[in-house]
A and B are shown apart, each in its own frame.
Chain A
Amino acid sequence: MHRKMAEKTMDDGPSIDALPDHLLHEILFRLPVKSALRFRCVSKAWHAFFTNRGPYMTMQPRSPMYGFFYRRPTNRSWNYAPVYPFKDQRFDLTQLIAHLPNHRNLTLLDSCNGLLLLCFGSDANFFNCMIVCNPANKTNWVIICLNATPTQVELLQRCRFVGPRLLFDRHASLPFMCFLFFEDGQTHAPFPWSEMRRSQKELLTNESHPCFTVWCNQSGLRCHHSADHELVATDVTLTDESWNACTIDHLEDQDVVYFLPDISSAGRLRRVIGKCGGFLHGALCNEWELRVWINVAEAGQRVWKLKHTSSCQTLVKRHKESHRRRRHDDGDIAYAVLPLGFHPDFDIIFLQIEWRIYSLHLGSGAMEELGGERGANPRGERFSFCPFTWDPLASLGDRKLYRVRLVDWGA
């Protein structure tokens, strides 16, 4: 490296062979505002750096989680529960989306850092049009028209539609991304990830498209990379059980999208996976114990470490203390503890017992009731759970209509 420098003559201008990012950032931090603004033009990475960090930061830091929407599988309308420290702020989904076209007929699919993903129609499997909006901005939304419904894709490709997912980070200077997850239709039982690995991932062809889908079927793994986004599915395993989860490293691991096929909510084992305090966490709950793992990098490898265990008996006891049942009800009812999700900022996991929702602090074990419904839940059904962030700065770009070809009808 140094030899090369010595050979170079001074007048052809020195250039740097390798400047590690952490050193570069230290240098960029020390630039005056004017240079910093000018250097936003250098590349997308530099633009992101200068819009997010340092004294010339033009945006506020990431907006925290405000609360969550939840609903019973059989219910159409969503309820809202706020979380600390936004206990006083309540949001109503019908009002949040009242400015959208055909808003009475919209169903919430997912949300991410201030944006909502909704579909037209009441069936989350039978839609061919989705809408993405920031409820804080009443004039802007994006419509995504698919040329097939997920159900039609299921039939044609012999796969199973697992669910949609929205990914967005306004600091990443990228548009939002939308994933539709399908899994192999041959094996309907819980799906070992090794099978899913031989999956096909397809980036939708239109270049300026904010929409990506992940396809999983039995043909070989096909991966399309575009210039600035890379989709990488990684294997997520925990102890001996496969998590059936898919993590997609997004922007050099600054953000990870995770997905757990619905299958796992059936049966005795309940799991959830999510980001908490910047780390990927996984929770597994059987009849006796809730166990939470954290995914950390150790010697260049990602490993799962057990972080927290709680006995279900204790959790259920605390639930019973606040919700006395009539005496004859009480006997042998098996209460299921159902993990719903993680708080992205604090060390908190959201749990459901019967139809009540609690937050459990992983450090102290403190449990707080947040919301839910009354009544027994003998079949151990799980609420649909959708975290909500209010962020007026989350921007969608222009109001647009995208057409997406999910299947090739001509072929």
Chain B
Amino acid sequence: MSTESKEILVGESSQAKPEKKTIVLMASDGDEFVVDVDDITNQSEMIRNLISDMGGTDGLQVPLLNVTAPVLAKLLELFNVSNKNDDDEEVTQKVKELMEAELNMMIDVLGAANYIEATSFFDLSCKVLADKFKGMSVEEVREFLNIECDFTEEELQQIHAENAWAFD
């Protein structure tokens, strides 16, 4: 495993109260992230189930094989925002900012959130992306996702005619 280990303490009060339990999340490249149990189980169903299956958190290391360190760091940062705020507004804003700045990072974070079953965060991020898609034209979507149109001209016209109101 990796020799360097990053420590990110999620939640402000964790250093003040050393009795708080922590677990270690391991990114795909071996980097370790120490997180507060309450904070992470609040978000991730997978880890909540894992802890109850293991019967405790003592020395628990969770390897997240398809999440890289930068993505995990970003995800934990966003969890932190979400845990600090009761409403979703702040975190929605952060996700939106991330989407505008680093779209592919945002997609990776979305995949990671899906992987650790962070249901509410995942839902929120999907909505942010759906909002972006919502106003796009068909051509913009094709360009955005790099999709080739495999319809013939007649087929397109037919679909157009069937759903005419959706295009104005």
- Which A residues fall within an 8 A CB radius of B? 1-2, 4-6, 10, 13-20, 22-24, 26-35, 37-44, 46-47, 227-228
Q: Which residue of A lies closest to B129 (CB)?
A: A27
B102 A2 Cβ-Cβ under 8 A? yes
Report the minimal beta-carbon distance from B167 to chain A, rounded to whole angstroms: 6
Report the minimal beta-carbon distance from A228 to chain B, rounded to whole angstroms: 6
Q: A14-B103, A43-B148 are known contacts. Are A37 and B138 too (CB-CB below 8 A)? A: no
- What are the 9 A-B residue pairs with the smallest beta carbon separation, nearest first? A37-B166, A30-B130, A37-B163, A38-B166, A14-B103, A41-B138, A27-B129, A35-B134, A34-B166
Q: Please name 18 further chain A to chain B contacts, defined as beta carbons within 8 Å, in addition to the given A27-B129, A42-B147, sorted by A numbering.
A: A5-B102, A5-B104, A14-B103, A16-B104, A27-B126, A28-B130, A30-B130, A31-B134, A32-B134, A33-B166, A34-B165, A37-B166, A38-B167, A39-B133, A42-B138, A43-B147, A43-B150, A227-B150
> B40 in the interface, Cβ–Cβ < 8 Å?
no
A23 B138 Cβ-Cβ under 8 A? no
Q: In the complex, A400→B61 CA distance in Å?
A: 64
Report the minimal beta-carbon distance from A53 to chain B, rounded to whole angstroms: 14
> B111 in the interface, Cβ–Cβ < 8 Å?
yes
> B83 in the interface, Cβ–Cβ < 8 Å?
no
Which of A15, A17, A42 gathers the greatest number of chain B CB atoms within 10 Å?
Answer: A42
What chain B residues lie within 8 Å of A1 (beta carbons)? 104
Q: When A and B form their complex, what is the total count of cross-chain residue pairs whose Cβ atoms lie within 8 Å?
A: 103
> B65 in the interface, Cβ–Cβ < 8 Å?
no
Q: Which residue of B lies closest to A173 (CB)?
A: B155
Q: In the complex, A47→B135 CA distance in Å?
A: 18
Which of A10, A15, A29, A39 gathers the greatest number of chain B CB atoms within 10 Å?
Answer: A39
Interface size on B, residues (CB 8 A): 39
B130 A15 Cβ-Cβ under 8 A? no
Q: In the complex, A18→B106 CA distance in Å?
A: 11
Mind listing 17 A-B residue pairs with CB under 8 Å?
A14-B103, A15-B143, A16-B107, A22-B114, A23-B110, A24-B145, A30-B130, A32-B134, A34-B166, A35-B133, A35-B135, A41-B149, A42-B138, A42-B147, A43-B142, A43-B150, A43-B151
What mask results when residues 126 to 141 of chain B are scored 1 for a CB within 8 Å of chain A, else 0? 1101100111111001
Report the minimal beta-carbon distance from A309 to chain B, rounded to whole angstroms: 33
- Which B residues fall within an 8 A CB radius of A? 70, 100, 102-105, 107, 110-111, 114, 122, 126-127, 129-130, 133-138, 141-151, 156, 159-160, 163, 165-167
A42 B107 Cβ-Cβ under 8 A? no
What chain B residues lie within 8 Å of A19 (beta carbons)? 107, 145
What chain A residues lie within 8 Å of B136 (beta carbons)? 35
Q: In the complex, A26→B159 CA distance in Å?
A: 23
What chain B residues lie within 8 Å of A44 (beta carbons)? 150-151
Report the minimal beta-carbon distance from B107 to chain A, rounded to whole angstroms: 6
A30 B105 Cβ-Cβ under 8 A? no
What chain B residues lie within 8 Å of A40 (beta carbons)? 159, 163
What chain B residues lie within 8 Å of A227 (beta carbons)? 150
A38 B138 Cβ-Cβ under 8 A? yes
Q: In the complex, A34→B168 CA distance in Å?
A: 10
What chain A residues lie within 8 Å of B147 (beta carbons)? 42-43, 46
Report the minimal beta-carbon distance from A30 to chain B, rounded to whole angstroms: 4
Report the minimal beta-carbon distance from A22 to chain B, rounded to whole angstroms: 8
Q: Which residue of A lies closest to B167 (CB)?
A: A38
What chain A residues lie within 8 Å of B70 (beta carbons)? 2
Q: In the complex, A19→B148 CA distance in Å?
A: 15
Q: Which of A16, A26, A41 contacts B144 (CB 8 A)?
A: A16
B160 A5 Cβ-Cβ under 8 A? no
Q: Which of A26, A39, A41, A47 contacts B114 (CB 8 A)?
A: A26
Q: Which residue of A lies closest to B111 (CB)?
A: A23
What chain A residues lie within 8 Å of B150 (beta carbons)? 43-44, 227-228
A17 B138 Cβ-Cβ under 8 A? no
Q: A16-B144, A19-B145, A34-B166 are known contacts. Are A41 and B104 too (CB-CB below 8 A)? A: no
